[in-house]
A and B are shown apart, each in its own frame.
Chain A
Amino acid sequence: MDPAGPPLSSEVVDPHEPAHLDLIPFGIIEPMISSVVAANIQAVVGLFVRTHPPSELPADAFITMRNQYDAAKIIHTIGQADGGAPFKLGLIAHDLCIPILTYVYGESQMGGSAAVISTARLFDTRQEIFYQRIAKVAVHETGHLVGLAHCRQIDCLMRFSRDIEQLDRLPLLFCSVCEYEIARQIKRFINMGTAGK
Chain B
Amino acid sequence: MAQAMQVLVVDDEETICLSLAAWLFKAGYRVETAGSGQEALTQLKQRLFDIYLLDIKMPSMDGLELLAEIKALQPDAAAIMITAHGSIQTAVASMKKGAVDYLCKPFDPDELSLVMERVAATKALKDENEVLRMQLMEQQAAFLEGIVAQSAAMHAVLADIEEMAPSNAAVLITGETGVGKDLVARMIHLRSRQAQGPFIAVNCGAQTESLLESELFGHERGAFTGAVKARRGLLEMADGGTLFLDEIGEITQKMQVALLRVLEDKHFQRLGGGHPIDTQFRLICATHRDLLQLRREELFREDFFYRINVFSIHVPPLRQRREDIPVLADFFLQKYNQETGKRIEGFTQNAMAALCAYPWPGNARELRNVVERVVVLTRGRMIGAAEIAFLEKSADACDSDGLTLKALEQRHINSVLAACEGNITHAAKRLGIDRVTLSRKLKRYQASLAASGEIK
- Smallest CB-CB separation from A163: which chain B residue? B110
Instruction: Tell me, rounded to whole Å, the shortest Cβ–Cβ distance linking B453 to chain A.
Output: 90
Contact A100 B113 (CB under 8 A): no
Partner of A99, one of B3, B106, B110: B106
- Smallest CB-CB separation from A97: which chain B residue? B106
The yes or no answer to A80 lying at the interface (CB within 8 A) is no
Residue numbers in A under 8 Å from B108 (CB-CB): 101-103
CA distance A144 to B28 in the complex (A): 11
Q: Taking A99-B106, A101-B112, A163-B110 as contacts, is the C-beta distance between A150 and B26 under 8 angstroms?
A: yes
**Chain A 92-113 per-residue mask, 1 if CB under 8 angstroms from chain B, else 0:** 0000011111111000111000
Contact A101 B26 (CB under 8 A): no
**Chain B 1-35 per-residue mask, 1 if CB under 8 angstroms from chain A, else 0:** 01100000000010110111011011110000000
Q: Report, as a range, how many residues of chain A touch the other chain.
A: 10 to 19
Partner of B25, one of A110, A160, A162: A110
Contact A149 B16 (CB under 8 A): no
CA distance A149 to B22 in the complex (A): 11
Partner of B26, one of A103, A110, A163: A110
The yes or no answer to B294 lying at the interface (CB within 8 A) is no
Contact A100 B19 (CB under 8 A): yes
CA distance A101 to B16 in the complex (A): 9
Q: Taking A110-B25, A110-B26, A149-B28 as contacts, is the C-beta distance between A99 and B107 under 8 angstroms?
A: no
Residue numbers in A under 8 Å from B113 (CB-CB): 160, 162
Partner of B109, one of A72, A101, A110, A152: A101
Q: Taking A160-B113, A162-B110, A163-B110 as contacts, is the C-beta distance between A100 and B16 under 8 angstroms?
A: yes
Partner of B23, one of A98, A103, A152: A98
CA distance A10 to B36 in the complex (A): 47
- The dominant DSSP class at the B interface is helix
* Most B Cβ at <10 Å: residue of A144, A152, A160: A160
Contact A149 B26 (CB under 8 A): yes
Residue numbers in A under 8 Å from B13 (CB-CB): 99
Contact B27 A99 (CB under 8 A): no
Q: Taking A72-B19, A162-B114 as contacts, is the C-beta distance between A100 and B105 under 8 angstroms?
A: yes
Contact B110 A100 (CB under 8 A): no
Residue numbers in B under 8 Å from A97 (CB-CB): 106
Instruction: Tell me, rounded to whole Å, the shortest Cβ–Cβ distance linking B58 to chain A.
Output: 15
Q: Report, as a range, how many residues of chain B touch the other chain.
A: 20 to 34
Residue numbers in B under 8 Å from A163 (CB-CB): 110
Instruction: Tell me, rounded to whole Å, the shortest Cβ–Cβ distance linking A17 to chain B.
Output: 31
* Most B Cβ at <10 Å: residue of A101, A103, A163: A101
Residue numbers in B under 8 Å from A150 (CB-CB): 26-28
CA distance A162 to B27 in the complex (A): 12
Contact A100 B28 (CB under 8 A): no
Partner of B106, one of A101, A108, A144, A149: A101
Residue numbers in A under 8 Å from B107 (CB-CB): 100-102
Q: Taking A110-B25, A144-B26 as contacts, is the C-beta distance between A100 and B20 under 8 angstroms?
A: yes
* Most B Cβ at <10 Å: residue of A72, A97, A102: A102
CA distance A186 to B274 in the complex (A): 67
Contact A149 B20 (CB under 8 A): no
**Chain A 178-189 per-residue mask, 1 if CB under 8 angstroms from chain B, else 0:** 000000000000
Instruction: Tell me, rounded to whole Å, the shortest Cβ–Cβ distance linking A117 to chain B.
Output: 14
Contact A98 B26 (CB under 8 A): no
Q: Taking A99-B13, A100-B19, A101-B19 as contacts, is the C-beta distance between A162 and B109 under 8 angstroms?
A: yes
- Smallest CB-CB separation from A149: which chain B residue? B28
- Smallest CB-CB separation from A66: which chain B residue? B106
Contact A72 B15 (CB under 8 A): yes
**Chain B 297-332 per-residue mask, 1 if CB under 8 angstroms from chain A, else 0:** 000000000000000000000000000000000000
Partner of B22, one of A102, A110, A160, A162: A110
CA distance A108 to B16 in the complex (A): 16
Contact A101 B23 (CB under 8 A): yes
- Smallest CB-CB separation from A101: which chain B residue? B109
Residue numbers in A under 8 Å from B15 (CB-CB): 72, 99
Residue numbers in A under 8 Å from B26 (CB-CB): 108, 110, 144, 149-150
Residue numbers in B under 8 Å from A103 (CB-CB): 108-109
CA distance A109 to B21 in the complex (A): 11
CA distance A144 to B23 in the complex (A): 11
Contact A99 B19 (CB under 8 A): yes
- In chain A, positions 129-146 with a C-beta closer than 8 Å to chain B are 144
Contact A98 B110 (CB under 8 A): no
* Most A Cβ at <10 Å: residue of B16, B18, B23, B27: B23
Instruction: Tell me, rounded to whole Å, the shortest Cβ–Cβ distance linking B33 to chain A.
Output: 12
CA distance A109 to B26 in the complex (A): 9
Instruction: Tell me, rounded to whole Å, the shortest Cβ–Cβ distance linking B51 to chain A.
Output: 16
Residue numbers in A under 8 Å from B20 (CB-CB): 100
Contact A100 B23 (CB under 8 A): yes
Instruction: Tell me, rounded to whole Å, the shortest Cβ–Cβ distance linking A76 to chain B.
Output: 11
Instruction: Tell me, rounded to whole Å, the shortest Cβ–Cβ distance linking A143 to chain B.
Output: 10
- Smallest CB-CB separation from B20: which chain A residue? A100
Residue numbers in B under 8 Å from A72 (CB-CB): 15, 18-19
Q: Which residues of A contact B (CB under 8 A)?
A: 72, 97-104, 108-110, 144, 149-150, 152, 160, 162-163
Can you sample 9 A-B contacts with CB below 8 Å? A72-B18, A72-B19, A99-B16, A100-B20, A101-B108, A103-B108, A104-B109, A110-B26, A162-B113
New contact pairs (8) apart from A72-B18, A162-B114, CB-CB < 8 Å? A97-B106, A99-B19, A100-B19, A100-B23, A100-B107, A101-B112, A102-B106, A102-B109
Closest 4 CB pairs of A and B: A162-B110, A98-B19, A149-B28, A99-B15
